[in-house]
Chains A and B, each alone.
Chain A
């Protein structure tokens, strides 16, 4: 169904960005704080309107809006067109919904900051780019949103650019994303020219759905893996996750919106959108699931010992993203999307909670210097507790249902090993979540007197409360086993998905098992950080090597730095100084210049100034000519 109104969803955030960017400085904080969130809210409203329209169109219904032809060269023609179907509609609601709440929260958090208008301009631009990514009807348009989102995260991470560290973190995030995008663009190229051979060159999702089954195995495998490389860059999976922990340098609401709820989930959305391609290449599915679970486990271990409140949450995000990839990797696309949604709720909430703690503690981020904030910041504590329970996966909270869904589908579809690692990671997740809660809110305060924590203003508390409600009811409303609303809703989009059915008894057993694991995690954390606070020190002493390994994050940053950055700089520097520019090419030129100069100087010596020498030379010349004539004439 064609509907030109669809572009309103995009236009609102764009208008918000343009207004804030150009007029924001003059308009002042008041107006900006209204324009920013309002534009997102309108976009959310149009999203809801179209969702209702969509409901009437049945499972395969979609609303399309071709705005203009973006690139047309030869037989390749790429339209700038957006599609609002079940999958992208759902994502629009998540993005704009959570986005709106975070915008409202930011009013309080960024109050009084000099770059206030610039902050809201970037945030609106981010939502616009995310919507382009989600709504784009072809891979190249998704790529436009993909890099646009990367740009906004670069700008927002380095928002307080006057500090060296934050500028470096922004640059690092953008470059690592670009490495991922390298794979993404090559994936697009493979699909484009693959489909050119089969029918006509296209990257439209609708047309790819028909073309991909006709493509041979290896082309689809290559394309999906390349696209997955892009996803690891964007959603911070194993090889390219290093930028996310540093990305915490940005303001906390940014971490909540971008590095928890929306941007990092782009990779999962891409895999879900390309489900027909991934299910056509089972090996790619296994790679996705494998990387996902490895990341989940690996990140969880690092989360155990992190000391900065936001770093803990960052590792937890990487780990939860790993779960989502496990979900889509084993074919449970709906499960993956379900966890994505619930994660958006409670992880954003966790970050907002952390933000209000930092705001209250006027900038302090090291959890070792916090403690006993339970009574000082009651509301923040209550909200933090709810989302902690959700993250850990304690029933009836949202996290439990979505994570369990994925683990069940993993187990049922035969990925036993993946399920086992998943459960271990779930235990660690529960442990570090409650470690965080106990360290921050329980026992004796460890901050010095100058700091006096105070509760955050209502403009921050209300959005957190809404998110808390969502992360509480979100679980069983959206995804109660066997009649999960989300699965039914997305049935149309994932008709290519692998159908996994396990006995309900098995499902109940697994649910029970994961609850026990979560409670065990809580108990261990309770014992170590509330009952006997000396225990963590003792364990750290005994397993000194393991602790050091985890604390230094497996020295991955350092390895990457020396392995890639230093060598690359070294090579370029080497080339510049020694090998090519100064030695070979310049050298070649200078020697040519020197030789001609040298020969000139030698020849000058011939001019002796002695007239008779010249006479003799002339005579010798005559002699030679005559001799030649004689020789020539004689033969």
Chain B
């Protein structure tokens, strides 16, 4: 039972950190709180079903992507951001309304829906590995291609305009 309470706590922290992340004026602070959010989710995954995936989440998201963000922000050494003209409030208001609407709709749709099948225990890394490399090997290969192109793309984009 403790596990459920831990997961619920981590969930709440995740939501709060996400809220703080999107409201900070200074991008570095929002990056840090985003990192916290990733950690909480990693925790949820490990306690809930698969420590392997939780670890991957923490390593890749918190470790790699977040660092990338922080790096980019520091390269551009941005000042604090003024929160901009009022014109945005109208859009903000509608965006919030729309977001709340989506949440409410999802909840009503999934309320009381208990999926069939029995609840599994923790799923080991081997099982995940076998699923990836046997059943969905095609997806696995495609992802590798995607990653390569992303790397090349990033290098080309960020390169200074040298006369070639």
Contacts and interface: CB of A to CB of B under 8 A. Distances in A.
A623 B94 CA distance: 12
B105 A630 contact: yes
Contact of B102 (A613, A616, A622, A629): A622
Contact of A623 (B91, B102, B108, B109): B102
A575 interface: no
A627 B101 CA distance: 9
Interface residues of B, number: 11
Contacts, number: 28
B102 A633 contact: no
A626 interface: yes
B98 interface: yes
A595 interface: no
Interface in A613-635: 613, 616, 619-620, 622-623, 626-627, 629-630, 633
Nearest to A613: B91
B102 A619 contact: yes
Contacts of A613: 91
A630 B108 contact: yes
Contacts of B109: 626, 629-630, 633
Nearest to A629: B109
Given A612-B91, A616-B91, A623 B98 contact: yes
Interface in B67-114: 91, 94-95, 98-99, 101-102, 105-106, 108-109
A4 B91 CA distance: 104
Interface residues of A, number: 12
A633 B111 CA distance: 13
A94 B94 CA distance: 106
B83 to A, nearest CB: 15
B95 A623 contact: no
B101 to A, nearest CB: 5
A616 B93 CA distance: 12
A92 to B, nearest CB: 102
Interface in B96-151: 98-99, 101-102, 105-106, 108-109
B94 A626 contact: no
B106 A616 contact: no
Nearest to B106: A626
A620 B106 contact: no
Contact of A626 (B91, B95, B99, B102): B102
Contacts of A616: 91, 94-95, 98
A629 B104 CA distance: 13
Contacts of B108: 630
A17 B158 CA distance: 95
B22 to A, nearest CB: 13
A626 B94 CA distance: 17
B105 A620 contact: no
B98 to A, nearest CB: 5
A627 B105 contact: yes
Nearest to A619: B98
Nearest to A610: B91
A633 B108 CA distance: 11
Nearest to B88: A612
A489 B97 CA distance: 115
A616 B105 CA distance: 17
6 contacts: A612-B91, A623-B105, A626-B105, A627-B101, A630-B108, A633-B109
Given A612-B91, A616-B95, A620-B98, 11 more contacts: A613-B91, A616-B94, A619-B98, A619-B99, A619-B102, A623-B98, A626-B102, A626-B105, A626-B106, A627-B101, A630-B105
Interface of A: 612-613, 616, 619-620, 622-623, 626-627, 629-630, 633
